[in-house]
Amino acid sequence: MQLALAGRVVTRFEAAVVGLDREVAGRVVERVEAVGKWLRIWFSGDLILVTHMLMSGSWHVYRPGEKWQRPRSQMRVAIHTDEFVAVAFQVPVTEFHSAASLARHRSEQLGPDVAAADFDAGAAVAQLRSRPELEVGVALLAQNLLAGLGNVFKSEVCFAARVNPFRRVETLSIAEVASLVEHARRLMTRSVTAGSRGRLSVYGRRGEACRVCGSAIESRKQGEDARVTFWCPVCQMG
């Protein structure tokens, strides 16, 4: 990746991920760093693409026009340059950062990886409860508390556990935190195995009927990064 991309100008950038609508074409790839399963691509102009591969995701490098080895439906991000095309398939975490926001996220200190074979649910519960002041929807995305949950499944996990994503962690019982962790584990390992997001309960369904109670799904931005959160106001009253 570093050899293929560093120093090259991005000619086209494709993203099949909600929220990645940034202007990348025309920027120069400054460097590519791999830290564990994290990959960081530094573009000129203080823009960093951060991805986490978990178990299912991978980056491939192709020549322009070369046939991809995985279907296009699994593409999350593609970075085109004149010489190479780098494609990320099924990477569950993809985010843009500035150097400052990346430092804030400290993504190198990862919490338990929700899709890992040796996932420790008890440790994940303890990590989440160590930040009682955070709203649930923010805590679930903090990769230093629980690694591998992206913005889509943050909402899905809260719905599955029937927890309102705007509650603070300190208001949750231990059983509720454990339920969130259990559903995170179940949904992420299922989505990894199935190779697709499957049918979503709340994410992207603002105004549509809840599949359980029929109420209209709501959405609003949450946290200092303003990530959109979806929830059912009736099923997730508690």
List interacting residues with Zn ion (CB under 5 A): 210, 212-213, 215, 232, 234-235
CA distance 173 to 227: 25
Least distance to Zn ion, CB of residue 228, Å:
18
Nearer to Zn ion, 128 or 235 (CB): 235
CB neighbour class for 182 (10 Å; exposed up to 12, middle 13-18, buried from 19): middle
Nearer to Zn ion, 119 or 159 (CB): 159
For residue 178, what are the contacts with CB-CB under 8 A and spacing of at least 6?
121, 125
For residue 97, what are the contacts with CB-CB under 8 A and spacing of at least 6?
47, 48, 50, 105
Tell me the residue nearest to Zn ion as measured from the CB: 210
Least distance to Zn ion, CB of residue 159, Å:
8
The token pair at 8 is 């090259």
Nearer to Zn ion, 185 or 205 (CB): 205
Least distance to Zn ion, CB of residue 189, Å:
25
CA distance 155 to 10: 33
Least distance to Zn ion, CB of residue 50, Å:
33
Nearer to Zn ion, 123 or 234 (CB): 234
